[in-house]
Amino acid sequence: MTEQSDLTGQSERSERSGESDPSERSERSSPRGLGYRPIEDGVTTDLTDRLTYAGYLHLDELLSAQVPISDHHDEMLFIIQHQVTELWLKLLVHELRSAREKLRADDLPPALKRMARIKHIQRQMFEQWSVLETLTPIEYAQFRGKLGCASGFQSPTYRSVEFLLGNKNPGMIKVFRHDPETAAALQADLETPSLYDEFLRFLARAGHDVPADRVDRDWSQPYTAHPGVVEALRRIYAEPERYWAEYEASEELVDVEESFQLWRFRHMKTVERVIGYKRGTGGSSGVGFLRKALELTFFPELLSVRTEIGAEDAQGAGG
Ligand code: HEM
């Protein structure tokens, strides 16, 4: 007999014998130390033909998607950490697409709201590394060999995020040749203006002097910095009160970029402590390859404009 049916049986017996419900007895005798929380009368307990929590969230599918390929205890952590990250990445894609649409429509307040949420998601993704860092090299080594050439490098969700933010690289599509549907979806992301492209177009529409070839270009190609964009941003940063909307959007983008770099950095440090300087399962040099990504920047002029700010005042002042 299960615990639940045992309890139910007890209460049925006491009803038959005219005794009071044991939970009521203990409530009377011990008003503060009940031992458990009685279910309130208003709580729905008959869920036949109703929308349930498990049904709405497809928990059957979600919780049966953790399928270890070894019998090592720690593989479950490895799988769940990746899957949770994939879910956060999926939400990032959703929010980034929406922020981009809002910018395209010159609807800045909701775009900024999306970016605020994006930063909180990034914070979760950053903090999450501490869980995986409990995986020691010897624990990982026990099942690493079973992974073959599978690697996070092949995550389509991650690649969408990179493309949406502006790290365009047409060469990445070939990694998905085995899966034409995914390759086509990524190709579409590659060919669509990134969040930064839309930001620059937004600035141009607001009357800022953004070079024409940055407002209309081959979106599938990597973005390259332009001194004209630095100059446009310098003017915005010189008069924040006058250009508050542009100024605020710029700072939000810098936050998102920094948070992204922190995730990349922590991934690299986790990899370093778990596999040292071994090659990756995906075939790269490993830590060295990941470290190179730290030199990438999504919004180059938003960083270089900082060199210009106050540069004249600081001359000779040692600042
Ligand atoms: C012990 C844990 C991990 C190790 C040893 C590891 C190792 C690596 C290595 C060596 C690479 C470079 C590509 C390769 O040669 O495979 C890579 C790329 C990548 N990994 Fe991990 N990884 C780990 C955990 C994770 C987790 C939890 C995620 C979350 C989804 C993740 C996502 C990625 C992504 C997105 C890339 C591509 C990065 C880029 O293109 O710059 N990794 N990983």
Instruction: With respect to residue 280, please indicate whether it lies within any of the assigned structural domains.
Output: yes
Q: What is the CATH number of the domain that holds 109?
A: 1.20.58.480
Instruction: With respect to residue 319, please indicate whether it lies within any of the assigned structural domains.
Output: no
Instruction: With CA atoms as reference, report the closest residue to 131 among 88, 86, 76, 71.
Output: 76
- Give yes or no for residue 8 having a pLDDT over 90: no
d(CA 143, CA 105) in angstroms, rounded, equals 49
111: Cβ below 6 Å to ligand 1?
no
- Give yes or no for residue 70 having a pLDDT over 70: yes
Summarize the confidence of residues 187-209 as an average pLDDT: 98
The phi, psi pair for 110, rounded to 5°, reads: -65, -30
79: Cβ below 6 Å to ligand 1?
no
d(CA 151, CA 145) in angstroms, rounded, equals 12
pLDDT per residue as tens digits for the range 107-139: 999 999 999 999 999 999 999 999 999 999 999
Instruction: With respect to residue 51, please indicate whether it lies within any of the assigned structural domains.
Output: no
Domain count, the chain: 1
Q: Which two tokens stand for residue 42?
A: 């208003």
pLDDT per residue as tens digits for the range 141-173: 999 999 999 999 999 999 999 999 999 999 999
11: Cβ below 6 Å to ligand 1?
no
d(CA 210, CA 15) in angstroms, rounded, equals 80
Instruction: With respect to residue 46, please indicate whether it lies within any of the assigned structural domains.
Output: no
Instruction: With respect to residue 43, please indicate whether it lies within any of the assigned structural domains.
Output: no
Summarize the confidence of residues 10-17 as an average pLDDT: 40
The helix or strand, by DSSP H or E, that contains position 163, with its residue range, turns out to be helix 156-165
What is the model's pLDDT at position 35? 87
96 and 199 in contact (C-beta within 8 Å)? no
- Full-model pTM: 0.90
d(CA 128, CA 110) in angstroms, rounded, equals 27
Instruction: With respect to residue 223, please indicate whether it lies within any of the assigned structural domains.
Output: yes
- Angle between helix 244-275 and helix 156-165 axes, rounded to 10 deg: 150
Residue 253: CB partners within 8 Å, gap ≥ 6? 115, 195, 196, 199, 298, 299, 302
122: Cβ below 6 Å to ligand 1?
no
Q: Which ligand 1 atom is the nearest neighbour of the CA of 287?
A: 10
Query: How does the average pLDDT of the chain come out, rounded?
Result: 91
Residue 307: CB partners within 8 Å, gap ≥ 6? none
Summarize the confidence of residues 39-57 as an average pLDDT: 97
143 and 124 in contact (C-beta within 8 Å)? no
- According to DSSP, residue 74 is labeled T
Q: Which ligand 1 atom is the nearest neighbour of the CA of 285?
A: 15
Q: Which domain holds residue 300?
A: 72-309
Q: Which two tokens stand for residue 236?
A: 């915005």
Share of the chain above pLDDT 70, in %: 87
Among 82, 93, 290, say which to mutate for ligand 1: greatest number of ligand atoms within 8 Å of CB. Answer: 290
pLDDT per residue as tens digits for the range 225-245: 999 999 999 999 999 999 999
Among 267, 270, 278, say which to mutate for ligand 1: greatest number of ligand atoms within 8 Å of CB. Answer: 267
- Give yes or no for residue 89 having a pLDDT over 80: yes
Instruction: With respect to residue 261, please indicate whether it lies within any of the assigned structural domains.
Output: yes
Among 130, 151, 155, 175, say which to mutate for ligand 1: greatest number of ligand atoms within 8 Å of CB. Answer: 151
Q: Which ligand 1 atom is the nearest neighbour of the CA of 275?
A: 5
Q: Which ligand 1 atom is the nearest neighbour of the CA of 158?
A: 35
Instruction: With CA atoms as reference, report the closest residue to 188 among 97, 106, 108.
Output: 97
pLDDT per residue as tens digits for the range 245-295: 999 999 999 999 999 999 999 999 999 999 999 999 999 999 999 999 999
